[in-house]
Structure 1
Amino acid sequence: MTDETYPGPWQAVVDFLRHRGVTTIFGLPADDLDLLRAVEDNPRLVLCRDQRSAMFLSIGYAMTSGGTAVCAIGKGPAVTNAVTGLLEAHSSGVPLVLLAAGTAVERRGSGAFQELDQIPLVAPLTKWAYRIDTPDRIGPALERAFLVAGSGAPGPVYLEFPDHLLTQPVPKRSWSAGTVTAEEAGEAILAAKRPLVLVGGGLRGAGHVAESLATKIGAGLFVTASGRGSVAEEHPAFLGLAGLYSPAEAAPLWEDADLLIALGTRLEETATFRPGFVAEGVPVLQVNVDPHGMSTEYPGPRVLADAGDTVRTWLATVDATPNRPWALEIAECRAASRSAVQDRLKVMAESDAIHVAEVLAAVDRVAPSDRILVQENGLQDMWSYFYPHWVCAPGGSVVPSEQTTLGFGTAAAGGVRLAAGDRPVIAFVGDGAFGMVGNEIRTLVEEKIGVLYVVLRNGGYGWLQHQYGDEPRFVDPHRALAVPPGVRHTVLTDKSQLDEVLATGVTDSAAGHVVVVEVPVSLTDAPPGITALDGDFPGGHPSGGTDDNA
């Protein structure tokens, strides 16, 4: 074992179990026997003669000890033998982690010895079933397994270790201590000198607790895309979105922070994309009511509780003194981001062409302060994700999930309008998304559901075209928008008419009319920094290669 790696997966497993205080493992391991060598009598490994019995022993141990039991088995028939035990653990609500062997990735589908697709077999009887295919996923998977098995309604979890992992070194990591109380997590807040607060969609409806916390501890305040509308964006510590959508001017804060307090967020990939996220190794204090929503990718305390209630506890009990130099740096970054937007708009104003940022600025000028913006996730309508190009009113943002399903915002705007009372609803979408579900616009017309659609028209699927090259294939710049009968439709090409046309659209939609303001835009009009990500985004570009305006 080197200082950086374990020689194999079972050494990592054993080290983790020791850290968690597990003293006993039950089971009948696979033929490799590496688990037996790794254990060295700590924890104690009770070798059984049948996997069913091993599961039953594990269940009995967990029910009596009150902790999470661990059972280790082989693959194929070993897993089918263990299924009866999974059924019992599932029915009894027993926290149990089943560690199973599996077919190597290069042998799947070849008729390998004891080959079986085990995940579909065990998934109905577990809270979480996961196959680990790369060594770097072992640590996060182990932490998540124990978190899920023992949290909420307890139950069994299944982890599969395919044979190809046996000879691969496994990266070491600092193991988490599991979940802590709000009071215990408060110690991390007191110790921090340069904290940031990140608010996710899980804090919707909690009032202004996040702003109060940021003020009390002197923290910079960010949101995820789904967290927009959960905080007042005029708060002096607010700096926009995290990750992919973070303003470039906020990068120094992410580089210098020594604690991130993540409230009600799963910390999905777009929210953690650097440089708009803390540096590697910086602790992330997570608060989430759902164990499945708790990320195990980052070090730091985890509080399994309602985020709003937890913050209220901190507001009452944590007596922190804000760090004045850090507060000044936050203020400087906020001022720099606002200045950068104004400079960008001044440059755009010198051109006759209508830019997406100018459309957003016009919407901001003419729409009432309680407006709701419903968004898609194409590259050009994504301008609305970048603060302060768009400043969201409280409760005034509806965005697609991390899946960024094409057409979501276009159709969802109708439902938002029905639930919004007198608040105006503006859908900021691309022509690809609008065309995909445009037939449903007829429903809104018939039902007199008034929505203002601002449709950015670049001729089709701009992100695909951007990747493909100059030859037109995915877009037709001359293609006009197909709009159903009954829609009040305007093609806006004169920049001087932006405010007038959009203001009329807001008024008409408030009266129950469906209004479409079609704005032809250039494919090159993309948010700052986004087009530079070609090939660099870890999971592929967030548009998924199918979004409308990218």
Structure 2
Amino acid sequence: MSNETTTSAAAAWSVAASVLTASGVRTVFGLPGDDMYALEAAHEAGIRFVLCRDQRNAVFMATGWAIQSGEVGVAVVGKGPAVTNTVTGLLESAASAAPVLLLSGGTGARHRGSGAFQELDQLAVVAPLVKYAARVDHPDRLLPTLRRALLVARHERGPVYVEIPEHLLCETPLAVPAAPDVSELPHEIVTRGDSAVLETLRSARRPVLLVGGGMRHENGGRDVERLAERLGAAVFSTASGRGSVDEASPYFCGLAGLYTPEQAARLWQETDCVVALGSRLEETATFQWPDTIGRDVPVVQVNMAAADFATAFQGPKALAPAGATVRSWLAQLPAEPADPQWTATVRSVHTELHTAHQELLDGLARSADLHIAEVLRALDTELPADRILVQENGLQDMWSYKYPLYACTSGAGSVVPSEQTSLGFGAAAALGVKLAAPERAVVAFVGDGAFTMAGADLSTAVKNSGGGLLYVVLRNGGYGWLQVQLDQRENPVGDHAFVDPESVGAQAPQIPGLHQVTVWDKESLAADIAQAWQKCAAGEVVVLNVPVRLSDAMFGADVAGGDFPQIAGSGDE
């Protein structure tokens, strides 16, 4: 016992707080149970407890923290309906492969099955959405259970759940670890020179690299850019992979799948090898890929978990960290591209994208109306270069997915929803991102529908962010994506509407410490954004209200309600 100390008050939560502290956790998000023991234990352990108004938002915030920091985000809630309120957040963190630990209360063992207050089989609710779920019924199992949960979250990259029932609160004091439980991954990977992966790469003459969310925090040495130069390869990113590569690279040609720029589509038609780094190759990432890819054209996949491989595509697979794997390839690949003409084509597409981008902005400048594209351009001009854009996935905030209209150049960051596109994720996650990167500007680029969903915790952001947090709210009067779907129907459906034109000019609720700016026309845009950022830099949370027209949408009828209705938007704005 020489390496341990003990605690007596609310023993189980004290142990949990000690384990979190030993693991480096300094901030948790949530809404504690009625007994307040979780809050007390966090306070005594020196852990910052960000008190949220909505449990779903708490998990969104923890997920934003995890995506930005690469470390485990922690959410703490009560029992019963408090747990069911977290389900959407767990769904989002699971699809984002974000390491999140959810701790909850629970009904004590002797009262289960008796109709106890807020009694629920919480394991049955949560288990399908997490990598690991456990209920601790004996004090001796709490410490190893928490350690296992943290290991799984950290190394299997996903949410985990631990339930701490009420009867543990009055058990015999539990041992508390004095030192952290350290675990490490291998720092280097050595790929055999005769491996199928390297043979495929050496044979490729027209390669494409696809960077997914699994490359977050894996490309600090810019090895992907070096690999692209070595192979002469085009580089694309999934939405969740943005920020992993410098989009100023002359080899970068935009986002993949649903978001592929028109000028870059031919690269996917002509490639003879696709290399997917840290991507599950979900539907949006592979949308409109030629049938040849994965059949005649091999797809090399690198992932940490076998379950993340897309087995519908033929090609060799490497079960390993993507960053270390790329470094091992660089040591064994030829120094020059196999086909200089392909390299020239790739660089030409990159130039074409930027030329078209400038032509778009020049054309919009001649219009009297304010366009969302111009808002993004002004944000790029007025905000610090290392800003982090936290996005939603609705009808109009998807303009931020259009490269190079918005680009993650060196130093800039991006946090986007997963394939689930949970409504309100970006608006709530922005606070978690800000707390994980307190020295950087964080911009939530969201529709008014998503902003309203997360609005319960606007006061939480004001109290906890420390400033430097800007919400750009595109106000079209409600749920623009659903309104587009409704308007495209041949036959009307009653007198229903998803947008209210009268609320386009609305503002956020007035909260002490919240500053608001409304952009009414393009002449004032630059000054309005400069004013908003000046307030942010001075320590305030700012809402920039931007009234927009429903017609100013990135996708037209070919996607909205057409070929891709089920995942092109989440219904916000």
* TM-score, normalising length: structure 1: 0.65
* Cα distance change, pair 233–448 in 1 and its aligned pair in 2 (3 A): closer
Cα separation, 2, equivalents of 1:313 and 1:494: 52
Does residue 203 of the first structure (1) align with residue 215 of the second (2)?
A: yes
Q: Per-residue deviation at 1:395?
A: 5.5
Q: What SS is found at the alignment partner of 1:317?
A: coil
Once the two structures are superposed, the pairs formed by residues 51-70 of structure 1 within 5 Å of their partners are: none
Cα separation, 1, equivalents of 2:496 and 2:518: 23
Cα separation, 1, equivalents of 2:263 and 2:474: 27
- Which has the larger displacement, 375-384 or 347-356? 347-356
Structure 1 counterpart of 2:205, which letter?
A: K
- Which residue is 1:525 aligned to? 552
Does residue 306 of the first structure (1) align with residue 332 of the second (2)?
A: no
- Which has the larger displacement, 529-538 or 453-462? 529-538
Q: Per-residue deviation at 1:398?
A: 0.7
- Which residue is 2:269 aligned to? 255
Gaps in structure 1 of 5+ consecutive residues: 1-119, 129-151, 153-179
- Which residue is 2:449 aligned to? 432
Does the 8 A contact of 1:492 with 1:517 survive in 2?
Answer: yes
Q: Per-residue deviation at 1:339?
A: 1.4
Structure 1 counterpart of 2:471, which letter?
A: Y
Q: Per-residue deviation at 1:196?
A: 0.5
Q: Per-residue deviation at 1:417?
A: 1.0
- Which residue is 1:404 aligned to? 421
Once the two structures are superposed, the pairs formed by residues 248-397 of structure 1 within 5 Å of their partners are: 248-275=262-289, 279=293, 281=295, 282-319=297-334, 321-322=336-337, 323-393=339-409, 394=411, 396-397=413-414
Pick aligned residue for 1:496 from 495, 500, 523: 523
Structure 2 counterpart of 1:473, which letter?
A: A
Q: What SS is found at the alignment partner of 1:534?
A: helix
- Which residue is 2:500 aligned to? 476
- Which residue is 2:197 aligned to? 185
Structure 2 counterpart of 1:405, which letter?
A: S
1:350-398: CA deviations, max 9, x gaps? 1221101000000000111111101001121011111100011446101
- Which residue is 1:419 aligned to? 436
- Which residue is 1:177 aligned to? none
Q: Per-residue deviation at 1:181?
A: 6.1
Does the 8 A contact of 1:286 with 1:302 survive in 2?
Answer: yes
- Which residue is 2:7 aligned to? none
* Cα distance change, pair 484–292 in 1 and its aligned pair in 2 (3 A): farther
Pick aligned residue for 2:485 from 467, 471, 481: 467
* Cα distance change, pair 297–395 in 1 and its aligned pair in 2 (3 A): farther
Q: What SS is found at the alignment partner of 1:344?
A: helix
* Cα distance change, pair 463–247 in 1 and its aligned pair in 2 (3 A): same
1:386-432: CA deviations, max 9, x gaps? 11000114461011111111001101111111111311111100000
Q: What SS is found at the alignment partner of 2:501?
A: coil
Does the 8 A contact of 2:275 with 2:299 survive in 1?
Answer: yes
Does residue 456 of the first structure (1) align with residue 490 of the second (2)?
A: no
Pick aligned residue for 2:462 from 432, 436, 445: 445
- Which has the larger displacement, 340-349 or 229-238? 340-349
- Which residue is 2:241 aligned to? 227
Larger gyration radius, structure 1 or structure 2: 1
* Cα distance change, pair 466–303 in 1 and its aligned pair in 2 (3 A): same
Does residue 485 of the first structure (1) align with residue 529 of the second (2)?
A: no
Cα separation, 2, equivalents of 1:492 and 1:535: 30
Structure 2 counterpart of 1:340, which letter?
A: A
Structure 1 counterpart of 2:325, which letter?
A: T
Q: Per-residue deviation at 1:277?
A: 9.4
Cα separation, 2, equivalents of 1:234 and 1:431: 31
Structure 2 counterpart of 1:499, which letter?
A: A
Does the 8 A contact of 1:181 with 1:303 survive in 2?
Answer: no
Cα separation, 2, equivalents of 1:489 and 1:457: 14
Does the 8 A contact of 2:396 with 2:447 survive in 1?
Answer: yes
Does the 8 A contact of 1:224 with 1:241 survive in 2?
Answer: yes
Does the 8 A contact of 1:200 with 1:224 survive in 2?
Answer: yes
User: Percent identity, aligned pairs only?
Assistant: 49
Q: What SS is found at the alignment partner of 1:490?
A: strand
Cα separation, 2, equivalents of 1:365 and 1:507: 14
- How many residue pairs align between the two structures? 373
**Over aligned residue pairs, what C-alpha RMSD do you find?**
2.3
Structure 1 counterpart of 2:428, which letter?
A: A
Q: Per-residue deviation at 1:531?
A: 3.7
* Cα distance change, pair 212–390 in 1 and its aligned pair in 2 (3 A): same
Structure 2 counterpart of 1:301, which letter?
A: P
The structure whose RCO (Cα within 8 Å, separation 6+) is larger is 2
Q: Per-residue deviation at 1:279?
A: 4.1
Does the 8 A contact of 1:251 with 1:276 survive in 2?
Answer: no
Q: What SS is found at the alignment partner of 1:287?
A: strand
Q: What SS is found at the alignment partner of 1:478?
A: helix
Q: Per-residue deviation at 1:491?
A: 1.5
Q: What SS is found at the alignment partner of 2:507?
A: coil
Once the two structures are superposed, the pairs formed by residues 64-143 of structure 1 within 5 Å of their partners are: none
Q: Per-residue deviation at 1:292?
A: 1.1
Q: What SS is found at the alignment partner of 2:473?
A: strand
* Cα distance change, pair 277–356 in 1 and its aligned pair in 2 (3 A): farther
* TM-score, normalising length: structure 2: 0.62
Cα separation, 1, equivalents of 2:562 and 2:203: 35
- Which has the larger displacement, 209-218 or 473-482? 473-482
* Cα distance change, pair 449–410 in 1 and its aligned pair in 2 (3 A): farther
Q: Per-residue deviation at 1:283?
A: 1.1
Cα separation, 1, equivalents of 2:290 and 2:502: 37
* Cα distance change, pair 328–435 in 1 and its aligned pair in 2 (3 A): same
* Cα distance change, pair 283–372 in 1 and its aligned pair in 2 (3 A): same
Q: Per-residue deviation at 1:341?
A: 1.4
Structure 1 counterpart of 2:426, which letter?
A: G
Structure 2 counterpart of 1:391, which letter?
A: A
Does the 8 A contact of 1:361 with 1:389 survive in 2?
Answer: yes
* Cα distance change, pair 432–181 in 1 and its aligned pair in 2 (3 A): farther
- Which residue is 2:538 aligned to? 511
Cα separation, 2, equivalents of 1:326 and 1:280: 20
Does the 8 A contact of 2:473 with 2:543 survive in 1?
Answer: yes
Q: Per-residue deviation at 1:317?
A: 0.6
Does residue 238 of the first structure (1) align with residue 252 of the second (2)?
A: yes
